[in-house]
Chains A and B, each alone.
Chain A
């Protein structure tokens, strides 16, 4: 396999699959007391069905903001964005995505099971169905047996897995993850990355994943979006061809190092523009 086969530019890819997220000329400006802050400017991006898209860039480059715009937690001030063909607001009302935050954000007064069933409860799904789906979701993240525990009785990694189970419980096709493993140590992070990949391979969900770790981005993604700060913009989009059932071993291959190098170059270029 040569690098050319592994790495392709977006433009060369055939647009056969359905676009889940379609962003055109998107910009977002925060008005603050110190004047406007250009968080995002001129962002163009298409996320197709079954994609695993990583957003990588230094802090303050707007990657989290972009994810929040997709989730309708933040409103764009310019450009167009559609999720499954509708506005982010409508998509949110339809519960089109599951969102995993940087912190687990589990409610301390609910057991793990009742935390996982929280979205189902809000969606007014019957009790038996809720419990059944929670069981399935907890099994996916290997947390079965911990249903009756409370969040503080679990380790940080287990809490984050519970929060992923919660995002999976209502089976949305789109998974938005904002640095979900940022606060975890290397070993736990590798393990959760593997589990996430298996999950993605099995369910064919579309994943948008924010990270600031280059190996994580390259290992997980089918598409890497490199961003740079002030104003937040996309400076490179790299597609990879690793099989969906890839293992941690691919991190030793030349292709992997080649892509990681390209990501690093992109990040460096973004920075030099800034200074």
Chain B
């Protein structure tokens, strides 16, 4: 067997795990002057390391060809990760992690990389299997990133104020669901949704008017462009003065932010119908509204959905930033700004996680509707015979 045929990731994993057994697991405790922990005292961790050495050498020769082999590697990695976390928290290595520990993490990294790589290249005509594989890859990668975050922050003993570990954020998230739910309701359900609907809806109607009336096209579009260029940081306090502290002022900021992308995209979309199709409608003596609903609006839908997707993320950003400038004592932006002041960084991160979840779900929902509504579009076509 030649060098090129060896599985290099598994080789790295095996060597790193072997070295991890040799190098010290943890540093020296400042107070006692003793090493914090030894591999020999922690049977689970020792087993995980030995497993990595054995599996790493075995797969270096065998290669990771099948998904089954990839799953085996990932399973070993999961076991290793669990043991690493246990060593950090149960055996007091947190803050004292030594070269042995980090070499073990490198070994796990090589395994995870190789395992995900195999599953990412999985192609099957069986839809369920393919969907499962497509689902596993980003989830496994995301979980791995969280693990690295956790291990690096705990292992090096990074101060919580700089960056809390994800477990702490998760704990805070679970323990403050009532506060988070109230904030979510205030910011997302009240401000974002209403602002989004008003902004996108009014822009859609104005776009149809702009398309119909030539002078609006020349006069209003440049003006709309200027409004969209307004810095949101500057507008938000004024909106708070105009519409009060509650969600209305946030909705107003969102309307300003979302209006222009929707306007421009819809106006462009209304011109997307081809000349041939317009001539076709003319040969049927189709009136303005008939042509609008039967030809031009359906043709504009891909553009409209583009704007809806852009606006779904813009709206959330707008609402959170606007809450920095005055709000009743509830809301995601309010919580972020006050908890930063109280050094409760884990709460800030919990709000950020909530915002990320809400934003992703919102975007996903819009993208799903788009897929259903414009399934005829070349980018979504499924060839069915």
Binding site for B on A (CB under 8 A): 71-73, 92-95, 97-99, 101, 103, 105, 107-109, 118-119, 121-123, 150, 152-153
Q: What are the residues of chain B within 8 A of A73 when measuring CB–CB?
A: 279, 282-283
A150 touching B376, Cβ below 8 Å: yes
Instruction: State how many angstroms separate the Cβ of B280 from the closest Cβ of chain A.
Output: 5
B376 touching A101, Cβ below 8 Å: no
Contact of B279 among A95, A101, A152 (CB under 8 A): A101
The answer to whether A122 and B284 touch (CB under 8 A), given A103-B276, A108-B377, A109-B374, is yes
Give 9 nearest A-B pairs by CB, closest first: A109-B376, A99-B283, A108-B376, A119-B284, A105-B276, A122-B284, A122-B286, A109-B298, A93-B285
The answer to whether A153 and B283 touch (CB under 8 A), given A103-B276, A107-B277, is no
Q: What are the residues of chain B within 8 A of A122 when measuring CB–CB?
A: 281, 284-286, 290, 294
A-B contact sample (7 more), CB < 8 A, given A95-B284, A122-B294, A153-B385: A93-B285, A103-B276, A107-B277, A109-B301, A109-B376, A121-B294, A153-B384
A93 to B280, CA, bound (A): 13
The answer to whether A107 and B295 touch (CB under 8 A), given A150-B376, A152-B381, is yes
Q: What are the residues of chain A within 8 A of B384 when measuring CB–CB?
A: 153
Q: What are the residues of chain B within 8 A of A98 when measuring CB–CB?
A: 283
Contact of B282 among A92, A94, A107 (CB under 8 A): A92
Considering the complex, give the chain B residue whose CB is closest to the CB of A95. Answer: B285
A101 to B284, CA, bound (A): 13
B window 291-313: CB within 8 A of A:
294-295, 298, 301
User: What number of A-B contacts does a CB cutoff of 8 Å give?
Assistant: 53
Instruction: State how many angstroms separate the Cβ of A89 from the closest Cβ of chain B.
Output: 9
Contact of A97 among B283, B298, B374, B383 (CB under 8 A): B283
Considering the complex, give the chain A residue whose CB is closest to the CB of B383. Answer: A153
Instruction: State how many angstroms separate the Cβ of A68 from the closest Cβ of chain B.
Output: 8
A107 to B281, CA, bound (A): 11
A109 to B378, CA, bound (A): 11
Instruction: State how many angstroms separate the Cβ of A107 from the closest Cβ of chain B.
Output: 7
A118 touching B285, Cβ below 8 Å: no
Contact of B276 among A71, A101, A150, A153 (CB under 8 A): A101
A242 to B298, CA, bound (A): 46
Q: What are the residues of chain B within 8 A of A118 when measuring CB–CB?
A: 284, 294
A100 to B108, CA, bound (A): 65
A92 touching B285, Cβ below 8 Å: yes
